[in-house]
A and B are shown apart, each in its own frame.
Chain A
Amino acid sequence: MDEIAEQLNERLAVDLDDGFTELVRIHATAVRGFLFRVSGSAVDADDLAQDTFLRAYTALRGYSPARRRDLRPRAWLMTIAANVWRNHVRTSVRRPVSAATIEDSAEMWPDGSPGPEERASTADDRGRLVSALTELPEKPRVAVVLRHVVGMSYGEIAEVQGCPVGTVKAQVSRGLGNLRQLLEAKDPSSKEVLK
């Protein structure tokens, strides 16, 4: 894994277009997965992930080869993804769906609520967990998804969130506590299962 990561940085430094294809190959699924779980909608996740990579490419073009070689791609991409998602939430709050034209509303789904495919599966445990995740506040939600869904280290998450490692650990543990409460509220019988 480390060898592949080194190779990726080297390719980014030597030839940006070639390195970028490798960046997409390795990280596209994780970036989309992160956005899917924080936004709760597959359509949003697809659009936001494409936006994330477009921003990443534009930024990389302005970087020197030395800076591209020292990049930590996953944490860096997740930082962009988290910003793209926050911007998206902010614009959808400012431009609510009711005020938008019909064309706009087809492009922009109301954020925060689970999409149709998510709602269809809320019957099972997995669905309950997914919808509970979208009810967490913004910062703990990002921290919990990065730590336990994507599987990043606390150090990397601290880089993404721009705060000390201790703060991230607190966010994750508080987030997990809130999730347990939400799940119990939804289904009291699950108390024994999700200790």
Chain B
Amino acid sequence: MSPKDKGVEPTQSDLESALAGLLPPAPANFGLRVLRHVGISQQRYDAYVRLDTYAGGLYVAYSPTAVTGAALESAVARPSVFEEQHWSLTHRTAIRSDTPFPGLRQAMRTGRTRNVPVDLAPLGARQQAVLEAVRGIPKGQLRPIGWIAREAHVADDAEVITQALARNPVAVLVPCHRVTYDDGTPCDAGYPPSTGQALRAAEGIDMQRLEELSRRGAVFLGSDTTRIYCHPTCAHARRITPRHQQPFRSAYEARCAGYRACRSCRPVTV
């Protein structure tokens, strides 16, 4: 074979270019139909779908029992790139499908993705612990890195944790956009800040108010009627009326003022 024989030559006629445009796209689940027809066990491969999120399209791959990977369209550009990336991460082939994992569509719509089973087994133990802790952050709330470290029982090292977040193999479903640095600014490791902003805005997190709080140095909000302090995005903190709000710079300051930590958002007390 000469090198010229490799592909279609640049000087091609209109008829040839018209023919080149005739390769028809296959139906979305065609590959799955072939594999079922041949009788390959479903355990041997993953299916994937494309879902819409507030930060653009999201490819989600899943085995019969759990979600095994997800990537934003803005990060992978094309379905074929997602398929290759999925294989290099999990060593499983991802085949296009048109039916998402049971319950996934509803979980995406409500933002409550915690009950969707996610398979993090190919990752190291520490990264797995960090991502499991991130999954524990409720919708519409933010948590600092120190909180993640405590929940995951790993050393409070911002660099190690942001690295684990940046390599999150299940984007959006493990909500890394809900993690902030200890001063309250969002981490957004692994994707551009605009993506994180869009996801947080969709959950109704008022970033302007939080920025104002962190400018004043307030990390926690207490209520002078209950004498309990919370993370500012905790559901209990959000319903403190402005005249009873008591900002604190640290857990130590709150404790000295005679406040105890909220048992729902569990601020780090040391």
Contact = CB atoms under 8 A, between A and B. Distances in A.
B33 interface: yes
A5 B93 CA distance: 14
B14 interface: yes
B34 A49 contact: yes
Interface string B15-39: 1101111111111001101110110
Contacts of B30: 28-29, 32, 46, 49
A25 B19 contact: no
B5 interface: yes
A82 B30 CA distance: 19
Contacts of A176: 13, 15-16
A144 B18 CA distance: 12
A21 B26 contact: no
A191 to B, nearest CB: 12
Contacts of A154: 1, 5
A130 B93 contact: no
B83 to A, nearest CB: 6
B192 interface: no
A194 B13 contact: yes
A54 interface: yes
Interface residues of B, number: 36
A153 to B, nearest CB: 5
B40 A17 contact: yes
A57 B8 CA distance: 31
Contacts of A22: 87, 93
By secondary structure, the A interface counts as helix
A126 B6 contact: no
Interface in A27-51: 28-30, 32-33, 36-37, 42, 46, 49-50
A133 B20 CA distance: 13
A129 to B, nearest CB: 6
A20 B1 contact: no
Given A24-B35, A46-B30, A195-B14, A148 B95 contact: no
29 contacts: A17-B40, A18-B44, A20-B38, A21-B93, A24-B93, A24-B95, A28-B34, A32-B26, A32-B30, A33-B26, A50-B33, A50-B38, A53-B34, A53-B38, A57-B38, A57-B40, A129-B19, A129-B22, A147-B8, A148-B8, A149-B23, A153-B7, A176-B15, A180-B15, A183-B15, A194-B14, A194-B18, A195-B13, A195-B14
Interface of A: 4, 17-18, 20-22, 24-25, 28-30, 32-33, 36-37, 42, 46, 49-50, 53-54, 57, 125-126, 129-130, 133, 144, 147-151, 153-155, 176, 179-180, 183, 193-195
Given A54-B37, A129-B19, A180-B15, 15 more contacts: A24-B93, A24-B95, A32-B26, A32-B30, A50-B33, A50-B34, A50-B37, A53-B37, A53-B38, A149-B22, A151-B23, A153-B1, A155-B1, A176-B13, A194-B13
